Every structure is written in structure tokens, then in C-alpha cells.
């Protein structure tokens, strides 16, 4: 079989010679409008201003060989950088008698601010008690298996994964194309375990986008991104400047939600629906004012309101960057156990919750452990998918993603 390197050697240049390009920026190495740099101290797609579409895919490694994993990461790095620049995943050849190295379905489209973010799941380090790649001792304690949370109804086929790719772009086809091309490169060493599309519609006036429940989502951001999101000097070298990503596929009982009074929805969330302001206040960005009480001396924002339970000040400063997307997988008749009062046709739609943090044990696990027990929102939500991934630090040109992990272990 032709190795990837020899293939590149043979096909390199033909792409340019054929004059074929994907996007207007095809041959340019320069950062141009509409592109997000792939290389840098941090991986793109974490603090990058949120694009409107996401395609998230988790993979199981099928190979037993460490070198195969390294070769895959080398290939993924190169392709991800090319795709981010609006080029094909691999150079196109001129031989029409062979499968094309890139599906070309985004030919003519701009890069759409594509970012490709890679994550390593626990299974890369140890799986079923087996240290497949000699990495078991390098598994960071932060990458501990997520506990079972109250109310979890996780579907195995939408949970976990040894590797993860989060592709975000302002065009849904560009995001899907990126994962599809990277998945092709993995055929000999990994297989797709699950995938999820997501979308968010940014209002043209720059205001906070709304989730499918009609509430502004993304108002609160960590006070200190550096400290809350990025792994610092106390982490292993390959994670310094990296972050831990938690993904939850959260189905919403929209039919039920739509029949509840707005005032009840606001009580549940702890914010006003239309303005996004904390309950009883006017401005979206006013502090929550959690100490405020009403005339009966009850808290204005209830003890079990979503924003109170999630607030950093109420949780020993636990903070995270949320970067979720809505999802819509159509409607189905599958009689999932929730919600129990309606087993007929329902939307399979909700939130592809994605968050980034320096330590999930003191951020997501801590916050959601409490939310899962007490949050009023729980009566409208079911967590059906889950994943925790270590997203290594960013890299420079010439390095491959995760290189510092493999070199040191």
C-alpha cells in the first residue's frame, strides 16, 4: 500500500498544477479573513469566537500499535491545518482512475473559520485494563472517568471515545467535511464511535444567541479564562496550555417546556427569558445578586434555579467556559424512558453541551454533581450522551498534535 508520505510526495504539486482549489485561499499560507490559525500556543476552537456550526465526532482506536496512533495524529495534524486554511485535506491528484483524496464537496466554499480541536479520551491511556500504547502512566488524574450523575440515561453508542474531534465552522458542510476527511485517514487505525451535529444562530446585532428553550445562553463567562480554562504549570508538559473538554448530549422535553408559563421557565432558569437579565433585574450582564430576597424573605433566584446552582461563587470558584450548540436530530418514536408522560412522537433535540476547563474534577463534575440532584431544569432535560477528553496544548508547524505526550512517555 502507498504510504501517506510517498502519496504526498507523488501528489504534492499536482494540486497546484491542476489549478484546483477549495476556497479562494487555496494556496495561501497566510492567515486571511475567514480563517482561524490551526497552529498556536492553544488549540483553536476553545476560546475562538463561536462559529455557527459544530460537528463533533468520537473515535475508538482499533489498532494495538503505538506507531499507528502516532501516524494517525501526524496525518490528522497535517490535514487539519490544510483544511483550516481552506485547502483540501490532502493534495488532489490528476488521476481520475483512483479515489480522490478529498471528497471536494466543499469546493468553492470559503474556510468559514473552520477550527479542528483534538481530544484524547481515557481509552488512549488504558482500556479494559490494557495499556495498549504504553501511555497508562501518563494518564492525568484530571482525566478520571466521569461518575454516574443522578438522572443519567446515557446511551453507550453516544458516549465515550478514545479520541475526539470537534470541528466548528460558520458553514455546516465545511464542519462535516473536516471530520469526514479526517475519519478517512483513520480507517486503518480507528473507527467512528459516535458523532453529533450542533448549531447556534448568532443574532446579527451581536447579542447573545438563544438555546432551543428560548433563553439567551452564553451570558456568563469565566472571570479568569487563563486560570479557569487552560492547564497551568502544574499539569504535564503536553497539557500545559491545553484544556479538558466535557461533552453532554442533553435532550430537551420541548413539547413539555412549550406548555409551561414563561414565569415558571424564568424561575427555573433564574433569569428573565426575553432580556436575559437575572430575575428581578433589567440588564443581561448585571451580576446575579444571589443575596436578594423578596417581601417574604425568600431568595429572588430560587435555591434550585439553574444559574444559582451553576454559579462559581456558590461552588468554591468552580468555573468553566461553556461553548455548547443546539442539536436537532429530527423526531422519533423511540420510547426512551423520559419523559414518562409522553412516549409518542417527540423531537430529539436539545443541547450539545460542551465546556472547557483546567480541571473537570473541580469544575464540571463538581457543578453538575449538584445540578443533577437539585436543578429545576432537570424535569425538562435528559442526558443521553457524554464524553471527557484531554485537549492537548497547541502546537507549532512541524509538530503533531500530542507529540509532547508521546515523546515523554
Site residues, ligand HEM (CB under 6 A): 211, 213, 215-220, 248, 250, 252, 269, 271, 288, 306-307, 310-312, 322, 350-351, 353, 364, 367-368, 371, 381
Minimum distance, C-beta of residue 247 to ligand HEM, in the bound complex (Å): 10
Closest to ligand HEM by CB, 88 or 220: 220
Closest to ligand HEM by CB, 181 or 217: 217
Distance, CA of 93 to CA of 101 (rounded, Å): 8
Q: How many helices (H) and strands (E) does the chain have?
A: 11, 9
Minimum distance, C-beta of residue 201 to ligand HEM, in the bound complex (Å): 15
Minimum distance, C-beta of residue 255 to ligand HEM, in the bound complex (Å): 15
Phi/psi of residue 188, each to 5°?
Answer: -85, -10
Closest by Cα among 267, 266, 261 to 298 = 267
Minimum distance, C-beta of residue 102 to ligand HEM, in the bound complex (Å): 36
Q: Which grid coordinates belong to 325?
A: 450548540
DSSP H stretches of helix in 158-245: 172-185, 225-229
Closest to ligand HEM by CB, 167 or 367: 367
Minimum distance, C-beta of residue 324 to ligand HEM, in the bound complex (Å): 8
Closest to ligand HEM by CB, 189 or 211: 211
Residues 6+ apart with CB under 8 A from 212: 252, 254, 326, 328, 349, 350, 351
The secondary structure element, H or E, covering residue 70 is helix 66-84
Closest to ligand HEM by CB, 71 or 326: 326
Closest to ligand HEM by CB, 182 or 355: 355
Closest to ligand HEM by CB, 125 or 380: 380
Minimum distance, C-beta of residue 403 to ligand HEM, in the bound complex (Å): 32
Distance, CA of 260 to CA of 159 (rounded, Å): 31
Minimum distance, C-beta of residue 334 to ligand HEM, in the bound complex (Å): 19
44 sits in the region (left: phi over 0; alpha: psi -120 to 50; else beta) called beta
DSSP H stretches of helix in 243-347: 254-257, 262-269, 306-310
Q: Which grid coordinates belong to 362?
A: 473541580
Amino acid at each position: 500500500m502507498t504510504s501517506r508520505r510517498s502519496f504526498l510526495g507523488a501528489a504534492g504539486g499536482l494540486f497546484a498544477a491542476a489549478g484546483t482549489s477549495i476556497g479562494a485561499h487555496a494556496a495561501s499560507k497566510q492567515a486571511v479573513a475567514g480563517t482561524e490559525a490551526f497552529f498556536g500556543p492553544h488549540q483553536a476552537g476553545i476560546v475562538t469566537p463561536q462559529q455557527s456550526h459544530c460537528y463533533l465526532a468520537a473515535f475508538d482506536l482499533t489498532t494495538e500499535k503505538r506507531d499507528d496512533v502516532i501516524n494517525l495524529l501526524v496525518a490528522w495534524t497535517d490535514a487539519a491545518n490544510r483544511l483550516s486554511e481552506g485547502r483540501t485535506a490532502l493534495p488532489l491528484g490528476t488521476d481520475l482512475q483512483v479515489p480522490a483524496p478529498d471528497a471536494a464537496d466543499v469546493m468553492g466554499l470559503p474556510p468559514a473559520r473552520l477550527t479542528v480541536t483534538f481530544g484524547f479520551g481515557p481509552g488512549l491511556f488504558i482500556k479494559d485494563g490494557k495499556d495498549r500504547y504504553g501511555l497508562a502512566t501518563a494518564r492525568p488524574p484530571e482525566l478520571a472517568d466521569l461518575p454516574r450523575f443522578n438522572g443519567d440515561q446515557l446511551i453507550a453508542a453516544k458516549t465515550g471515545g478514545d479520541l475526539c474531534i470537534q470541528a466548528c465552522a460558520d458553514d455546516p458542510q465545511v464542519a462535516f467535511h473536516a471530520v469526514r476527511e479526517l475519519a478517512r485517514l483513520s480507517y486503518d487505525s480507528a473507527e467512528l464511535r459516535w458523532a453529533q451535529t450542533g448549531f447556534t444562530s448568532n443574532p446579527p446585532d451581536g447579542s447573545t444567541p438563544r438555546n432551543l428553550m428560548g433563553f439567551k445562553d452564553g451570558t456568563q463567562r469565566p472571570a479568569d479564562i487563563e486560570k479557569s480554562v487552560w492547564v497551568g504549570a502544574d499539569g504535564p508538559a503536553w497539557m500545559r496550555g491545553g484544556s479538558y473538554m466535557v461533552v453532554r448530549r442533553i435532550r430537551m422535553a420541548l413539547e413539555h417546556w412549550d406548555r409551561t408559563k414563561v414565569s415558571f421557565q424564568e424561575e427555573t432558569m433564574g433569569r428573565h427569558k426575553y432580556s436575559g437579565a437575572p430575575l428581578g433585574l433589567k440588564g443581561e450582564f448585571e451580576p446575579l445578586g444571589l443575596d436578594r430576597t423578596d417581601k417574604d424573605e425568600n431568595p429572588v433566584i430560587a435555591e434550585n434555579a439553574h444559574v444559582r446552582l451553576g454559579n462559581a461563587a456558590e461552588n468554591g470558584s468552580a468555573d468553566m467556559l461553556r461553548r455548547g450548540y443546539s442539536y436537532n436530530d429530527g423526531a422519533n418514536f423511540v420510547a426512551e424512558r423520559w419523559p414518562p408522560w409522553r412516549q409518542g412522537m417527540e423531537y430529539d433535540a436539545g443541547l450539545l453541551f460542551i465546556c472547557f476547563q483546567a480541571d473537570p474534577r473541580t469544575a464540571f463534575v463538581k457543578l453538575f454533581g449538584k445540578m443533577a440532584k437539585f436543578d429545576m431544569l432537570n424535569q425538562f432535560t435528559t442526558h443521553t450522551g457524554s464524553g471527557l477528553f484531554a485537549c492537548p496544548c497547541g502546537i507549532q508547524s512541524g509538530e503533531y498534535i500530542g507529540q509532547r505526550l508521546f515523546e515523554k512517555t
